[in-house]
Amino acid sequence: MEILLVINPVSGNKNKDGFTDSAKLILSKSGLDYHIFKTTGKNDCEQLEGLIASKSPKKVIIAGGDGTLNMFLKPLMENKTKVGFIPMGSANGMAEELNLVDYPKRLLQKFLDSDDFQKLDLLQVNGSHLLLHLGDLGANANLVANYEKDGGRGMFTYAKHFWSEFKNPKSFEFEIVTDQMEYERKGVMLAICNGRKYGTGIPLNTIGKIDDGFFELVIVKGMDFSDLIKATLSKFDEDYQTENLETIQAKSATIRLKESRILQIDGEVIDEFKELHIKLIPKALHFIK
């Protein structure tokens, strides 16, 4: 089979009926053999593994949020499948990173037409969780966890939790041992970056590249209102600098915390951890350009 189109019908609280109809039209016109798989929220990864095994699709194109793409990283990596991603989530950090800012229909057409691909690095955390874009411990992970627990959704709920977490973030101590150096540090947040920016466009570091064979640990030592303003404005100005950030580049690292903290990866809460072992897997995902 040529094309497997995966659609998360609930990501970003966006109705995908219109997109699904347009996609069927585009795929039929292309004359390519295709199948559409709508995720259900249950055993989706196993389902995709089954579809890859039975139908051997040349390309898998995923429409959803960053969490949807993350769910399928393992089989996509293991099968060296060519992947396209149509950002239709709430935060869309990957869209910022990979410049996927076109209309969904146009992105679909681009992925159908192109055979060119770029090999992206992935990070493996504690031997099992894969990270494509960004993860963190501390203030932002707490924000993601509280937002997920809250019955409400949308900007207002997000703003409420953002404010309660970031107005007075609590710092914590940790030790980092990379393939190069050892560090003892304290901060309100420790970010694990394969890329550079949050979905809001707020950059965490200026050196990260998603295919350079390195990842970056960014220690946010403190955060005040002027930092947030500077970070937001820096969307337009890459010269964002603050003494509150320290960037450590590595190929592998162990992080030891004094107390367990929540870890979020690509916008999804994973669990609480006291120790993290991070390893870069170079050129693991074949991403259609």
Kindly tell me which residue out of 10, 26, 36, 269 binds ligand ATP, with binding defined by CB under 6 A.
Answer: 10
Comparison of 31 and 41: residue with beta carbon closer to ligand ATP:
41
CB 144, min distance to ligand ATP, A: 9
| 9: contact with ligand ATP by CB under 6 A | yes
User: Cα separation of 247 and 216, whole Å?
Assistant: 6
Site for ligand ATP in 164-183 (CB under 6 A): none
Number of residues that bind ligand ATP (CB under 6 A): 19
CB 88, min distance to ligand ATP, A: 8
CB 213, min distance to ligand ATP, A: 26
Partnered with residue 255 across adjacent β-strands are 176, 276
Comparison of 159 and 207: residue with beta carbon closer to ligand ATP:
159
Comparison of 68 and 234: residue with beta carbon closer to ligand ATP:
68
Comparison of 198 and 240: residue with beta carbon closer to ligand ATP:
198
Angle (nearest 5°) at CA 225 between 232 and 131: 55
* Amino acid identity, position 86: I
Q: Which SS3 state, helix, strand or coil, does residue 31 take?
A: coil
Number of Cβ within 10 Å of residue 241's Cβ equals 9
CB 186, min distance to ligand ATP, A: 29
Site for ligand ATP in 206-265 (CB under 6 A): none
Site for ligand ATP in 22-41 (CB under 6 A): 39-41
Kindly tell me which residue out of 1, 12, 32, 222 binds ligand ATP, with binding defined by CB under 6 A.
Answer: 12
Phi first, then psi, for residue 90 (nearest 5°) are: -90, -40
Cβ atoms of 83 and 60 within 8 Å: the answer is: yes
Stretch that binds ligand ATP, among 27-35, 61-69, 250-258, 275-283 (CB under 6 A): 61-69
CB 200, min distance to ligand ATP, A: 11
Comparison of 64 and 203: residue with beta carbon closer to ligand ATP:
64
Site for ligand ATP in 64-103 (CB under 6 A): 64-68, 89-92
Phi first, then psi, for residue 282 (nearest 5°) are: -70, 145
Kindly tell me which residue out of 5, 6, 8, 86 binds ligand ATP, with binding defined by CB under 6 A.
Answer: 8
**Largest pairwise CA distance in the chain:** 58
| 205: contact with ligand ATP by CB under 6 A | no
Residue 79 burial (10 A CB sphere; 0-12, 13-18, 19+): middle
Please give the distance of CA 230 from its chain centroid, rounded to a whole number. Answer: 23
User: Cα separation of 17 and 4, whole Å?
Assistant: 17
Site for ligand ATP in 125-144 (CB under 6 A): none
| 45: contact with ligand ATP by CB under 6 A | no
| DSSP for 229-281, written as a single string | HHHHHTTS-S----TTEEEEEESEEEEEEEEEEEEEETTEEEEEEEEEEEEEE
Kindly tell me which residue out of 3, 4, 5, 11 binds ligand ATP, with binding defined by CB under 6 A.
Answer: 11
User: Cα separation of 53 and 55, whole Å?
Assistant: 6
Interface residue list for ligand ATP (CB under 6 A): 8-12, 39-41, 64-68, 89-92, 267-268
